[in-house]
Structure 1
Amino acid sequence: MERRATIKDVAEAAGVGVATVSRVLSGGSASPRTRERVLAVAAQLDYRPSALGRNLRQRRTGGMGLLVPDLTDTFYGQLAEGVLACARSAGEPVVLGSTGGDPEQEAELIGMLLEQSVDRLIAVPSGDAETWTPAFRAGMTVVFADHLPAQALPEDDPAASAANDLMLLDGLSPAAAPPSRSLDVPAVVADDRGGIRTAVRYLRGLGHKRIAFLGGPGQERRVAAFRAAVGPPVDEELVVFGTGSRDSAYAAASGLFQSRPDLTAVVAGGNVLGEAAVLAARELDLRVPRDVSLVMYDDVPWAELCAPPLTVIAQPGRDMGYRAAELVLRAGTRRPRSVVLPTELIVRGSCGPRR
């Protein structure tokens, strides 16, 4: 039996990304030349999306998908455990995929899930709103976890309202966040503002004034919360980012410590970033907390095994996954509302008074 052409085959033959093919075939934005090339290649390869794309609204196939950026990340593992526990209690199978934090790979996985007739999806998004448009046009039910997909837009653009609504739910003024465009989709997130604010206040109480933030992809709300917590004027040299990989996180942490030896405390936006900060400090002979205090977003088992144990902003990863699965399972009965879960500052030994 001849193998059926996939969306990836079309993308490779047309010399474009999977996300571009998905946009063209779903009627999204693309240049006339790109649209013509993609449609010609799709016809030549006899590419036919599954029947799901045509009639998903008339039938439910059961089962749900779960997409996360990195299965080796402890937090995403906890989130997956929550999704699987809820799905198991409901008798629902789960198709699990890792996007690697790559929007193109995410778009490909979305296309594969549609072809496999998976009509409900929980995702920690890597791509922007356009990446997700084909899923909605096909009728897929989606609930986002941890954060929403976004793309830059002017502040007065009405398409930014969904992200602003979520910021307000979180207690954070939209003016404190970067302008963004997000799909009007329910999400289950942690109280980033409360967690970051509590951590900064704690460090300030210890006498720290030059506090840095080490961030990564999808952490726009945490960055906005940090800027709001430290207050103007924000020293932008103390706000640095990695691209998501462990190597990038280490490079960002090491560069921060070397470029700003005057900093006295760091808030790491996730456990991969916290791990990088610990390793970079050790390589540079910086003593924690004598030379630099460290707070990490996410409580993971190894945090207590560090010397000294890390002070953390704990978020309920397993509960986040469970609640997201509950929302996607009952989406057919009523439109679910976004949920903000509480965070907790757990004080251990990685923070000390500024000497």
Structure 2
Amino acid sequence: MNRRVTIKDVAEAAGVGVATVSRVLSGGSASPQTRERVLAVAAQLDYRPSALGRNLRQRRTGGMGLLVPDLTDTFYGQLSEGVLACARSAGEPVVIGSTGGDPEQEADLIGMLLEQSVDRLIAVPSGDAETWAPALRAGMTVVFADRLPSEGTHEDDDTAALAVHDLMLLDGLPPAPRGRPLDVPSVVADDRAGIRTAVRYLRGLGHRRIAFLGGPGHDRRAAAFREAVGTPVDDDLVVFATGSRDSAYAAASSLFLSRPDLTAVVAGGNVLGEAAVLAARELDLRVPRDVSLVMYDDVPWAELCSPPLTVVAQPGRDMGYRAAELVMRSGGRRPRDVVLPTELIVRGSCGPRRP
């Protein structure tokens, strides 16, 4: 795959400085000979200026974007319905994109939305703060839903953020400061209360070896779980999968096989809950006789399971609606963060610990 041509490549081929290329491409002053040479080289190299850079200089015309990790996930479908309902009532068009939980793909979609003059964005973030800082510097109004960007920066997933950072530098634009927290409003569920309630419920049934099965974006839920079970925490009972269903199933199966002494599981999302149900069935573990299960997210199929699943319900549609309301309140002071309540719905997937 060919490397994308940068403004630095154009400058070197034309024998001028980066600032001169930027000035020519943005319509600034330059001698006729220099302008002709720069434009000819840019055309020959098929250089396309950074969308982030152009949008810092241009006034966008409006529109709303929505980025979620997985459009097939029932919870994100509910969240999307809420966004669309609010946008429809305001006559706002919405551009929807799926990031696949990939920070690099997320960065590409952010650039595409800027290119399409979308100036307001609701996102369930997959990347960290560095992925999002350039969009904010470009003037985009952002509201996070369901979760916040991770605070840390990892070498494996920071490629996209570094690429955008470098493009802004090459286009003669000041890059966003690295490592600073983002001042972005959010609409999230009360994960801490939801997980704490689930653990207390299982503890009340006599369970002591309780596992947590998490995925991308579940850092807050995992932290709440650790807090709820108290010290010392058995780290082998806190397991993470990647965003795919195959990974969730593999993590659940490995957990059951490696820790036959566990008696209960808290699944951090509906994909993980589905994986736990399937893995238990494959391993002939009976729910709740052999293992009790609580799933974070109430989705329609949870009631159809045998037995029906006990869940921590979070209001996905309301979350999307409130996020859309916030993102449309552009201008003025920063909107306050919204924390929505969760509810433990007890069904048949939990039972008393057996000796």
The alpha-carbon distance between structure 1 residues 288 and 111, as it changes in their structure 2 partners (threshold 3 A), is same
**In structure 2, what is the equivalent of residue 340 of structure 1?**
339
Q: How does 1:105-116 map to 2 (within 5 A)?
A: 105-116=105-116
**In structure 2, what is the equivalent of residue 46 of structure 1?**
47
Distance 1:201 1:136 in 2: 40
Distance 1:195 1:292 in 2: 20
The alpha-carbon distance between structure 1 residues 85 and 349, as it changes in their structure 2 partners (threshold 3 A), is same
**Runs (4+) off by over 4 Å:** 39-43
RMSD: 2.5
Q: Letter of the aligned partner of 1:299 in structure 2?
A: D
**In structure 2, what is the equivalent of residue 129 of structure 1?**
129
Q: Which runs of 5+ in 1 are unaligned?
A: 1-11, 25-34, 154-179
Q: What SS does structure 2 have at the residue aligned with 1:324? A: helix
TM-score norm. by structure 1 comes to 0.80
**In structure 1, what is the equivalent of residue 120 of structure 2?**
120
The number of equivalent residue pairs is 299
- Cα distance, 1:334 vs structure 2: 2.9
Distance 1:146 1:237 in 2: 26
- Alignment deviations for residues 206-227 of structure 1 (CA, whole Å, 9 cap, x no partner): 0000000000000110000000
- Cα distance, 1:52 vs structure 2: 5.4
Distance 1:46 1:354 in 2: 65
Distance 1:205 1:181 in 2: 42
- Alignment deviations for residues 230-263 of structure 1 (CA, whole Å, 9 cap, x no partner): 0000000000010010000000000000000000
Structure 1 stretch displaced more, 333-342 or 249-258: 333-342
The alpha-carbon distance between structure 1 residues 339 and 291, as it changes in their structure 2 partners (threshold 3 A), is same
Q: What SS does structure 2 have at the residue aligned with 1:13? A: coil
Distance 1:62 1:110 in 2: 15
Q: How does 1:23-62 map to 2 (within 5 A)?
A: 44-50=45-51, 53-56=55-58, 59-62=59-62
**In structure 1, what is the equivalent of residue 159 of structure 2?**
none
**In structure 2, what is the equivalent of residue 8 of structure 1?**
none
**In structure 2, what is the equivalent of residue 238 of structure 1?**
237
The alpha-carbon distance between structure 1 residues 290 and 201, as it changes in their structure 2 partners (threshold 3 A), is same
Distance 1:298 1:240 in 2: 18
**In structure 2, what is the equivalent of residue 354 of structure 1?**
353
TM-score norm. by structure 2 comes to 0.80
**In structure 1, what is the equivalent of residue 303 of structure 2?**
304
**In structure 1, what is the equivalent of residue 175 of structure 2?**
none
Q: What SS does structure 1 have at the residue aligned with 2:2? A: helix
- Cα distance, 1:182 vs structure 2: 4.0
- Cα distance, 1:130 vs structure 2: 1.1
Distance 1:335 1:252 in 2: 40
Instruction: Name the % identity.
Output: 82
- Contact kept in structure 2, 1:123 and 1:145, CA below 8 Å: yes
Distance 2:235 2:349 in 1: 24
- Alignment deviations for residues 155-182 of structure 1 (CA, whole Å, 9 cap, x no partner): xxxxxxxxxxxxxxxxxxxxxxxxx964
